[in-house]
Amino acid sequence: QVQLVESGGGLVQAGGSLRLSCAASGSTSGINTMAWYRQAPGKTRYLVASITRTGIKNYADSVKARFTISRDNVKNTVYLQMNMLKPEDTAVYYCKFTRVLTDYWGQGTQVTVSS
């Protein structure tokens, strides 16, 4: 089937930047929307950014103007460029790829922003 492998998380000081990547392998045909979610300790998982196959983007209000989502349809990879990071961005970030009837989730990558 499809496996999603995330990379790019880590520890960064407030105001710094990180770039997350999520690459799909396996049966990658027909992937439509790609998205990033995050979940902080004690909080629910929510959508922070998404991008359709044709390039339509959506962002959570909390990350607008700071984060940029992009995708490479040839490489079956989605990216999240995170700038001006804040401590409240600290969370486990999960990528999700969607086909017509199925969602595929990455394993999660920890992003920690220190004060």
pLDDT at 1: 82
pLDDT at 4: 96
pLDDT at 18: 98
The string of pLDDT tens digits covering residues 38-87 is 999 999 999 999 999 999 999 999 999 999 999 999 999 999 999 999 99
The string of pLDDT tens digits covering residues 4-30 is 999 999 999 999 999 999 999 988 888
- DSSP state string for the chain: -EEEEEE--EEEETT--EEEEEEEEES-TT---EEEEEE-TTS--EEEEEE-TT--EEE-TTTTTTEEEEEETTTTEEEEEE-S--GGG-EEEEEEEE-SS-EEE---EEEEEE-
Beta strands 34-39 and 46-51, pairing class: antiparallel
